[in-house]
Structure 1
Amino acid sequence: MLCFDEPILDKAKSKQWGSKPQVRSCSRRTLRVDFADIGWSEWVLVPKAFDCYYCAGTCGIPDPKVLHPSNHATIQSIVCAVGIVPGVPKPCCVPEKMSLLGVLYQDERGNLVLKVYPSISVESCACR
C-alpha cells in the first residue's frame, strides 16, 4: 500500500501575522458522522450520529514518544529520508487504537436489536 503525504496545512496559523502555513504531523482529526447523511437512518434508531474521527498528517522520522511508530515504520522512514531505495514511500498515518459503538436497530421482523460494532471510532493514530 502506498501512502502519499499530502501537506495538511494549519490555516489558522498561516493567517497569523503572515506566517507560513504549518504542516501538521500525524494525529486524530474530528469527524462526526450522522447516520442520515450516509443513508443509514432508516434502520439505525440510536444513536443518530457519532464521533468517528480519522487519522491524517505527515509521517517523517517519527518521535517514538508522540506517534508510537512500529519498528518497521521507523526503518522505512529512514530509508525514505536517505533515499537509498527509490520509490519507498513514507509510513502512513493510520488508526492505532479503536473503540466500539453500540447501535440499536430494528430487524426485518420488527425486533429491537442492540449490536456492538468493534473498531468503528478512532481513539489514537500512529505512523505505520
Structure 2
Amino acid sequence: MKILKSYILELCFILSFALPFIRGANADNGRRFVETYYGFTFLMEHAIVTVVFICSLLIAWLVKKQWTKWLAAGSYLFLILWIATEGYLFRMSLEDLIRLWTSLEILTQTYQLGFYLNIILGILLIIKYFKVKQ
C-alpha cells in the first residue's frame, strides 16, 4: 500500500489520458460496451507524438538525470500543443494559435473534456520529479 501511495499521482495522470475519452456504456442487445470519443482515435492517429512523450517519460524515470526531466517536460508541452491544435501545430500561424487559446471553442469540444485535468496532473507530475533528490 505504501508503494501505491507514492505513485498515486502517476496513476491519476495515466488514467487521465484514457478516462476523458469514455462517453459511457450503451446497451446493445443486452451487451454493454464503452464508446470512445474522437480524442482516443486522435491520439492513435498521431501515435508518434504520443510515443515520443511516453518514451521521454520512461527515459526520465529510468535515467534520473536533470536533462531527461527537461526532455519529459518539453515533450509534454509539445503534446499539449499538438492536442490543442488537433495536429495542425506546424501549419498554424502564431495569430491562429493565440486566437485558438483565447477563444472558448476548445472548451466545447467533447473529446477534450479532461484535457485541462490532464494538463494540471502533468504539471504536478513534472514538479514532483523536479523536486526529486538530484
With the length of structure 1 as denominator, give the TM-score of the two structures: 0.26
> Which structure has more strand as a fraction of its residues?
1
> Which structure has more helix as a fraction of its residues?
2
Q: Which of structures 1 and 2 has the larger relative contact order (alpha carbons within 8 angstroms, sep 6+)?
A: 2
Q: Which structure is larger by alpha-carbon Rg, 1 or 2? A: 1
